[in-house]
Amino acid sequence: MQVSTDAGATWTVVGDVTAPATDSLTGYLASGYAPPGTVAAVAVHGLRVRVGDLDTAYPKMFSILPLEFAQTPVFFGGHVSGASGIYTDIPTGTSIFRELSPYNGNPAYLEDHGGKLTDLPTNYKPKPGDILDIIVRRPAKPLIEVDFQNVKHGKVTAKYADGTVQHVTTVLKPVYGVGRYDGTSYTGVGAINTNHTGVITVSTAPVSTSPLFEGTGDERRGGFQIMPSYHNSQSEEAWAPSAMVLGTKGKETQPDLEGTPPLFMGHFDLSWLPGDPAHSWRAEVQYGGKQEWTPMPKLIGSQSDPFRRVTAIRLVRDSYGDKKWLTARIENDASAYRAQRLAMAKSGKIAVKRGRFNVDAGSVDPRTKFVAFFIDGGFRNLTNTQPYSYTWDTNDSVDGEHVIEIVDEDENNENLRTKVMHVWVDNSGRIGG
C-alpha cells in the first residue's frame, strides 16, 4: 500500500497487502448510490469501491480492509467482503483508514506496468497482481461545519471555508439514542466512523486498547447515525432511536439526499487526530438550547435516550491542512509501518522469508498417509511420500503475513493433525533478517 502527494511521481509505503482480492461481490443498498468505478464508502474499518453497472440496485464492489477486520468480528453487522476483500496489515483507524482516507465519489483506476491508468471495467473482478489507484480529490469548496438542529423539522445548515452558508435539508426525526456500530471501538469519541453514500456514523466510544476482537469481552462500541429518509426506510433498524433521519416529508419512498453532496458524497474524510483538533472532524453538542458547543459525551453500548436533552449537533473541522501537513502525516504513518515490520522481524514470532521457502511437515503420526499444504486457506500441494514437504515460491505471493496450514491425514482422509505457521514474506528487502 503506497500513497503519493505528487500525482504518482514518488510513493511512500504505509502498509502491505496480506491477501489480495480475487472477486467482486454483491454490495449493500447504499453502494448503488455511488457511480461505478468510484469510492462508495470510507470507514475506519474499510473502504468500499463500487464496480457494478447502473442497472443493478445492489451492484458489485470490492473492499480494502485493515488488519483487525481480516476476520469477521462477532456480531458484525456490515458487509462481509470475503473474496472481494483486499486485506492489509494497516491497523484499523489509521493511515488510509483515517487522515489519508479518500472521499466518497473519488475515482478508482487500474494501472498497467507502464503507469497508464484506465477506468475499471464494469463488474470488474480484482485479481492478484492488479495495481489499483484511487485518486484522492479534496472538495473544491471545502466544508468546515454542518449544524443539525436535533428537533423535528430542525434545519441542517452547511458552512464552507469560503464563508458561504447553505440550508441543506430538514430533520424528520431527531436522534435520541446510541447503538453498537461496527468499528466504533477503533474510532474515538466524536469522530466520524463511516461516511458512505447513505449514512454518516459518528462514534461516541473511545479508541479501545483491548486485544480482543470487537464484539467480544466487555462492550466497547457506541455511536449514532445520520441518514436520508429513503435509505433509513430500507434499513433493518428503520427509525431507530440511534438514527437522525433527514429529508423532505413525502419523499421517503424514493432516493433524495442519497449519494449527494455535501453530506453523502465528496466532503467527509476520516480525519481525527488526538492532539490536533484543528485538522480533525469532530462532533460537538448543545444542550437545552444553549449556544455553547461542548464535546461529544462518551457513550458505550446500546442506550435509548442519552441525547434527549441535546438540541443541536455539529460536525466541525477547522483546517484541511496544506501539503506540508499532509507530507508529515504520511511520513508518520510510514515510520509506524517500518517500526512494526522491524519489531515483527526481531520478535521471532513471524519469520521473514524471501524467494523459495521449504515448508516441512516435520515429524508426523505413524498413521499418516497424506500431507496437504494450504497457504492463506488455498490448497497448494498434496504428497504421500517422505519427507513430507512443499517448496513454496514466495515471489508468487504478495509481501506480508501469510498463514501456512499443514494437514496430516490417514488412509481414510481423516484429519490427524493441523499444524499452523505464520510467515512474513518480504521479497522487497525492506526488512533485515
- Domain-by-domain residue ranges, the chain? 2-137, 143-322, 348-425
Q: Which of 135-149, 161-175, 226-240, 339-353 has the lowest mean pLDDT?
A: 339-353
- The DSSP result for 32-99, as a single string, is GGSPTTEEEEEETTEEEEE-S-TT-SS-EEEEEE-GGGSSPPTT--S---GGGEEEE-SPTTSGGGTT
Between 342 and 141, whose confidence is greater? 141
| d(C-alpha 228, C-alpha 253), whole Å | 11
In this predicted structure, the answer to whether residue 192 has a pLDDT above a threshold of 90 is yes
Q: What average pLDDT does the segment 58-85 reach?
A: 89
pLDDT in tens, 130-168: 999 999 999 999 999 999 999 999 999 999 999 999 999
**Does a cis peptide bond (omega within 30 degrees of 0) precede residue 387?**
yes
Residue 352: band (very low, low, confident or very high) from pLDDT cuts 50, 70, 90: low
Count of beta carbons in the 10 Å neighbourhood of residue 250: 9
Calculate what percentage of the chain has a pLDDT beyond 90. 64
Q: What average pLDDT does the segment 57-83 reach?
A: 88
* Confidence (pLDDT) at 432: 45
Q: What average pLDDT does the segment 209-225 reach?
A: 92
State the DSSP H helix or E strand holding residue 347, giving kind and residue range, or none if neither: helix 323-347
Between 24 and 250, whose confidence is greater? 24
Between 430 and 156, whose confidence is greater? 156
In this predicted structure, the answer to whether residue 403 has a pLDDT above a threshold of 80 is yes
* Confidence (pLDDT) at 355: 84
* Confidence (pLDDT) at 344: 65
In this predicted structure, the answer to whether residue 430 has a pLDDT above a threshold of 60 is no
* Confidence (pLDDT) at 58: 87
What are the grid coordinates assigned to 421, written together?
A: 505457521
Q: Which CATH superfamily is domain 348-425 in?
A: Immunoglobulins (2.60.40.10)
Residues 6+ apart with CB under 8 A from 243: 173, 175, 224, 225, 226, 227, 232, 235, 237
Q: What average pLDDT does the segment 166-187 reach?
A: 97
In this predicted structure, the answer to whether residue 346 has a pLDDT above a threshold of 80 is no
Quick check: 229 and 235 in contact, CB under 8 A? no
Q: What average pLDDT does the segment 42-60 reach?
A: 90
In this predicted structure, the answer to whether residue 54 has a pLDDT above a threshold of 80 is no
- Per the prediction, the chain carries an average pLDDT of 91
- Reference 224, options 294, 305, 152; nearest CA is 305
Q: What average pLDDT does the segment 189-217 reach?
A: 94
In this predicted structure, the answer to whether residue 298 has a pLDDT above a threshold of 50 is yes
Q: What average pLDDT does the segment 258-277 reach?
A: 95
In this predicted structure, the answer to whether residue 89 has a pLDDT above a threshold of 80 is yes
In this predicted structure, the answer to whether residue 2 has a pLDDT above a threshold of 70 is yes
Residue 362: band (very low, low, confident or very high) from pLDDT cuts 50, 70, 90: confident
* Confidence (pLDDT) at 433: 42
* Confidence (pLDDT) at 349: 59
In this predicted structure, the answer to whether residue 262 has a pLDDT above a threshold of 90 is yes
State the DSSP H helix or E strand holding residue 230, giving kind and residue range, or none if neither: helix 229-233
Q: Which of 69-83, 159-173, 361-375 has the lowest mean pLDDT?
A: 69-83
